[in-house]
Structure 1
Amino acid sequence: MTSNSIQPFDFKGTPVRAFEDVKGNRLFCAKDVAEALGYTNTNKAIGDHVRGVTNRYPITDSLGREQQAVFIGEGDLYRLIASSKLPSAQEFESWIFDTVVPSIRKHGGYMAGQEHMTPEQMALASMRWLNSKVEEQARQLEAQKSQVLFAKAVEVSRTNILVGDLAKILKSNGVDIGSTRLFAWMRDRGYLMKSGMAKNMPTQRSMDLGLFHVKETTIVHADGHTTINKTPKVTGKGQTYFINKFLTGSQEVAA
């Protein structure tokens, strides 16, 4: 069950979400119903009058966030309607059971104003709705495709890699970033040291998280003295960690 399966309809400007589950049960969003019936405290109304089994399904709120909402069956819908003191409660009841429920049974959903549409208008509106869903699914598939590419990139790379190589993996999967910008991004967010002799070396926090390994290379110079060159490399765990950061958009890319 996904939020895409839930169909919204409108009662005098108040949206009410409903659907028919795989068992044929017609379920309604309890909070939407309570608001449509004029309850000032919707949570109290649901707690006082809902007696049957409640189900939770994901819905998208006005800010685009996914929330778990309580859905109720027809028995509890009757209880909420019967307990409402507003004159519009009877109108709401008639509209639900004379218009919305038959539409859900026949079409699997309800379109606002469909009772005033001709069969041709209904067919056209249905096609538009279906096209919007196809486009939405295409966008979701494209996003999933990117996720698969990211996952495969990490799966293939079982060795420590340079920060520049991580930037190439990100760029090849649609992230507009290069080596210099990725170094800056890591410094700005405390993964790498910002200045001094240790600039671009992993911070203690990064090392504690296991995101980096420092490769030390001994260099023998012409006069016989030796120096140690240190190169930060991103571990397998680090690759997964940073790719997920960009994949989920939980961090902004440095300009």
Structure 2
Amino acid sequence: MDSLIKVSYDNDRPTVSARELHDFLEVKTAYKDWFPRMCDYGFSEGTDFNPLKNEQVRQEGNRMVSRMIDDAQLTIDMAKEICMLQRNDRGKQARQYFLQLEKDWNSPEKVMARALQIANQKLQVLETENAQQKQLIAEYSPKVSYYDVVLQTKDALSASEIAKDYGKSAKWLNNLLHDKGVQYKQSGIWLLYQKYAEQGYTRSKTHTYSGDDGQQHSRLHTYWTQKGRLFIYDLLKKDGVIPLMEQ
């Protein structure tokens, strides 16, 4: 199906720009007057449409000027009704386009594809949580010796802080430990392989933060104990990589 009007699927359902629909329908009335009039036909904000502002950049004379313009994302149902209200060939053409789009969207194949996508996303989240839980369990499972207790009284350090001992970055250290089979990355988080996670080399801390969706989220961060710091020291020293203070 040819794309007459760009369709967005950002919110798990198809929507279209009110301005782009306005342009396609070749409405003579200015958008700022036309859209409020369309809303007066009984459409509800938050249900049928969501207002938004877009940045528009255009050239005026010898310079580029940026300004914010009003727009809205419309449900396909609202877009279809607006097309009917126009009573012209462009409206009829757009309405047929939206009807076909809805038919495709609700086809068994597309419904199944969306269900599989959601299932895969949930599976990925569960796998990440499971890997994090394994690391936490492994860290707290071993019996703690006196030596470990002494080491654990000192602050755990981030990869960035340990990397500074070598005049390097956290990225350098994390990639090096990955290449040596010490840790792996999953969903943006560095986790130790099981045989290392059980040695008391790390302490994981959970930090909470506010997401762009306004909700509270949590993220696991891995810190290295002093025992882990010595492990890294011995590991790197075998390859001739030593801290700055010993150079």
Give me the TM-score of the superposition, normalised by structure 2: 0.34
Give me the TM-score of the superposition, normalised by structure 1: 0.33
